[in-house]
């Protein structure tokens, strides 16, 4: 399966366009920006916006959490965008540090980082779409155990710069305990350290590895395949880049909801009047080509339960 990736820059508009009421959205994302970026733009078109005429973007993809992410969030505030759309927990945290007044719509964040206590009436300047990724990660480990029932030790590759690694680790530990699997954990500080983290886990004899998305799914999937260690995550693009399996919320559905929320914010509806939406559709994706390369036979009954098989 092949997918074209489009990484657009900010759309520059003449001053006249601004005078005609063009809206501006700041799009702040960590990790692999696709497919969320393309899906969100499609959702805004479906909502009636025309890029370059009634809507422009300030697009800020930042590979990993850190000073550059905070600088990008602060820049969006200085540019006085109408709405900030933040993808994944580090981007949400950076956006909240940058502003308490500009409306923020987020996707996939840890609720504790958003500062929202009541999902039905969000407090402050934020609303968004909640994906229970840490819970899904526990389920993903159970599914991996079905594929490799002899698994005794499993690796976690976590992002220490992303606050979400704490609930993620907790839920995977709970699932591992139930499956009687021991965990080995590595916390690479940047994308450049992912390879060393994988080497350390492989050296300890793990049967497989789970990768936290904000580390960078593209490079982690490629390195795991190169080093011949089965790797899973909970974003479909991980599998598209060569990872073995993902179990996740349906991000196409979540991103459509996010676009509808951003549309409401652009029309002046207060975040507190836009309830946080939660994922209700989930998908399991398996890369059978990767499984074959790793010598893993995927049982027909398992394949029958998958939502998509990448050949």
- pLDDT at position 8 is 37
3-state SS, the chain, equals CCCCCCCCCCCCCCHHHHHCCCEEEEEEEECCCCCHHHHHHHHHHHCCCCECCCEEEEEEEECCCCHHHHHHHHHHHHCCCCEEEEECHHHHHHHHHHCCCCCEEEECCCHHHHCCCCCCCCCCCEEEEECCHHHHHHHHHHHHHHHCCCCCEEEEECCCCCCCHHHHHHHHHHHHHHHCCEEEEECCCCHHHHHHHHHHHHHCCCCCEEECHHHCHHHHHHHHHHCCCCEEECCHHHHHCCCCEEEEECHHHHHHHHHHHHHHHHCCCCHHHCCCEECCCEEEEEEHHHHHHCCCCCCHHHHHHCCEEEC
**213 and 94 within one domain:** no
From first to last of its 311 residues, what are the pLDDT tens digits of the chain?
333 333 334 443 333 334 357 999 999 998 767 678 999 999 999 999 999 999 999 999 987 778 999 999 999 999 999 999 999 888 988 999 999 999 999 987 666 667 777 888 888 899 999 876 667 888 899 999 999 999 999 999 999 988 888 888 988 999 999 999 999 999 998 889 999 999 999 999 999 999 998 888 889 999 999 999 999 998 888 999 999 999 988 888 889 999 999 999 999 999 999 999 887 788 999 999 999 999 999 999 999 999 889 88
Both tokens of 297, joined, read: 């036979």
**94 and 170 within one domain:** no
**174 and 110 within one domain:** no
The span from the first CA to the last CA of the chain, in angstroms, equals: 7
Question: How many C-beta atoms surround the C-beta of residue 268 within 10 A?
Answer: 8
Q: Is 240 exposed, middle or buried (0-12, 13-18, 19+ CB in 10 A)?
A: buried
Q: Is 191 exposed, middle or buried (0-12, 13-18, 19+ CB in 10 A)?
A: middle
Question: How many C-beta atoms surround the C-beta of residue 305 within 10 A?
Answer: 11
Cis link prior to 35 (omega < 30° from 0)?
yes
**213 and 141 within one domain:** yes
**CA–CA separation, 245 and 239 (whole Å):** 6
Task: Please indicate, yes or no, if residue 294 is contained in any of the structural domains.
Answer: yes
Task: Please indicate, yes or no, if residue 164 is contained in any of the structural domains.
Answer: yes
**200 and 304 within one domain:** yes
Distance from the Cα of residue 98 to its chain's centroid: 21
**155 and 98 within one domain:** no
**294 and 154 within one domain:** yes
Domain count, the chain: 2
- pLDDT at position 101 is 95
- pLDDT at position 179 is 92
**160 and 99 within one domain:** no
**228 and 88 within one domain:** no
Both tokens of 96, joined, read: 């909240």
**202 and 175 within one domain:** yes
Task: Please indicate, yes or no, if residue 9 is contained in any of the structural domains.
Answer: no
Q: Residue 238: which CATH number?
A: 3.40.50.2300
Task: Please indicate, yes or no, if residue 156 is contained in any of the structural domains.
Answer: yes
Task: Please indicate, yes or no, if residue 59 is contained in any of the structural domains.
Answer: yes
**CA–CA separation, 59 and 26 (whole Å):** 6
Q: Which domain holds residue 215?
A: 133-249+283-310
Exposure class string for 49-65: b at 16+ Cβ within 10 A, else e: beeeeebbbbbbbbbbb
**303 and 157 within one domain:** yes
**293 and 170 within one domain:** yes
Beta bridge partners of 277: 129
Task: Please indicate, yes or no, if residue 123 is contained in any of the structural domains.
Answer: yes
């Amino acid at each position: 399966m092949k997918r074209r990736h489009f990484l657009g820059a900010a759309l520059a508009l003449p001053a006249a366009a601004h005078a005609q009421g063009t809206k501006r959205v700041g799009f702040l994302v960590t990790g692999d920006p696709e497919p969320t970026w393309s899906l969100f733009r499609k959702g805004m078109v479906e909502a009636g916006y025309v890029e370059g005429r009634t809507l422009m973007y300030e697009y800020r993809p930042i590979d990993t959490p850190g000073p550059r992410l905070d600088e990008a969030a602060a820049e969006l505030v200085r540019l006085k965008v109408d709405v900030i759309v933040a993808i994944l927990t580090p981007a949400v945290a950076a956006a909240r540090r940058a502003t308490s007044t500009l409306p923020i719509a987020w996707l996939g964040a840890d609720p504790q980082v958003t500062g929202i206590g009541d999902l039905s009436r969000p407090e402050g300047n934020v609303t968004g779409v909640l994906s229970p990724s840490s819970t899904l990660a526990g389920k993903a480990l159970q599914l991996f155990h079905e594929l490799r029932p002899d698994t005794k030790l499993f690796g976690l590759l976590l992002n220490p710069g992303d606050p979400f690694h704490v609930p993620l680790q907790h839920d995977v530990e709970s699932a591992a305990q139930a499956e009687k699997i021991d965990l080995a954990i590595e916390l690479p500080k940047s994308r450049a350290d992912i390879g060393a983290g994988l080497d350390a886990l492989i050296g300890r004899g793990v049967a497989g590895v789970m990768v936290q998305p904000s580390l960078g799914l593209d490079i982690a999937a490629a390195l795991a395949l190169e080093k011949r260690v089965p790797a899973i995550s909970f974003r479909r693009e991980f599998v598209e880049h060569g990872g073995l399996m993902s179990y996740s919320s349906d991000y196409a559905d979540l991103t459509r909801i996010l676009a509808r929320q951003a549309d409401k914010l652009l029309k002046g509806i207060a975040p507190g009047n836009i309830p946080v939406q939660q994922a209700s559709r989930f998908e399991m994706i398996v890369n059978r080509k990767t499984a074959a390369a790793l010598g893993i036979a995927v049982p027909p009954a398992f394949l029958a339960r998958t939502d998509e098989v990448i050949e």
